[in-house]
Chains A and B, each alone.
Chain A
Amino acid sequence: MQRIGVFVCWCGSNIAGTVDVQAVSDALAHEPGVVHSANYQYMCSQAGQNLIKEAIEEHKLTGIVVCSCSPRMHEATFRKTAAAAGLNPYMVEIANIREQCSWVHKDMATGTEKAIILGKAAVAKVNLNAPLTPGESPVTKRALVIGGGIAGIQTALDIADAGFPVDIVETKPTIGGKMAQLDKTFPTLDCAACILTPKMVDVAQNENIRIFSYSEVTDIKGFVGNFDVTIKKRARYVKEDICTGCGLCTEKCPMKNVPNEFNLGMDNRRAIYIPFAQAVPKVATIDPEHCNMLKNGKCGVCAKVCAAGAIDYKQQDEYISEKYGAIVAATGFNPISMDKFDEYAYSQSKDVITSLEFERLTNAAGPSSGHLVCPSDGRHPHTIVFVQCVGSRCASCSEKGKEYCSKICCMYTAKHAMLTRDKYPDTEVYVFYIDVRTPGKNFDEFYRRAAEEYGVKYIKGMVGKVSPENGKLHVQASDLLADKQLHIEADLVVLAAAIEPDKSARPLATMLTASMDTNDFFTEAHPKLRPVESPTAGVFLSGACQGPKDIPETVSQAGAAAAKVIGLLAKDKLTGNPCVANSNELMCNGCSSCERVCPYGAITYVDKEFRMPDRTTKVRRVASVNEAVCQGCGACTVACPSGAMDLKGFATKQIIAEVDAICK
Chain B
Amino acid sequence: MKVSYFPGCTLRTKAKDLDKYARDSALALGVTMEEPDNWQCCGGVFTTSRDEIATKLSSVRALMDAKSKDQILVTVCSACHNVIKQTNHAMQTDEEFASRVNNYIAPENYNGEARVMHYLELLRDEIGFDKVKEKVVNSLSGKKIAAYYGCLLLRPNSVMKMDDPENPSIIEDLITALGGEAVVYPQRNECCGGYIALENPEAAKTRSNTVTASAANAGAEMIVTACPLCKYNLEKNGSEIPVVYFTELLAEALGVK
Contacts and interface: CB of A to CB of B under 8 A. Distances in A.
- Check A-B contact in the complex, CB < 8 A: yes
Nearest to B168: A342
A509 to B, nearest CB: 30
Nearest to B189: A343
Interface string B182-200: 0010110010000000000
Contacts of B166: 340-343
B38 interface: no
Nearest to B164: A342
A468 B186 contact: yes
B232 to A, nearest CB: 23
Interface residues of A, number: 16
B158 A469 contact: no
B49 interface: no
Contacts of B184: 348
Given A397-B158, A469-B214, A342 B167 contact: yes
Nearest to A467: B186
Contacts of A468: 186
B217 interface: yes
Interface residues of B, number: 10
Contacts of A340: 164, 166
Contact of A348 (B164, B167, B217): B167
Nearest to A468: B186
Contacts of B158: 397
A238 interface: no
A467 B167 contact: no
Contacts of B167: 339, 342, 347-348
Contact of B187 (A342, A397, A467, A470): A467
A345 interface: yes
Interface string A458-473: 0000000111111000
A491 B186 CA distance: 16
A343 B158 CA distance: 16
Most chain B CB atoms below 10 A, which of A340, A342, A470: A342
B186 A345 contact: yes
Contacts of B190: 465
A341 B167 CA distance: 9
Contacts of A342: 164, 166-167
Contacts of A466: 186
Interface string A334-354: 000001111101011000000
Contacts of B164: 339-340, 342
Given A341-B166, A342-B164, A342-B167, A470 B186 contact: no
A474 B166 CA distance: 16
Interface in A624-646: none
A465 B167 CA distance: 12
A342 B164 CA distance: 9
In the A-B complex, the 3 residue pairs with the smallest Cβ-Cβ separation, listed nearest first, are: A467-B186, A342-B166, A342-B167
Given A348-B186, A465-B186, A474-B186, 16 more contacts: A339-B167, A342-B164, A342-B167, A343-B166, A345-B186, A347-B167, A348-B167, A397-B158, A465-B190, A466-B186, A467-B214, A468-B186, A469-B186, A469-B214, A469-B217, A470-B217
7 contacts: A345-B186, A347-B167, A465-B190, A467-B186, A469-B186, A469-B217, A474-B186
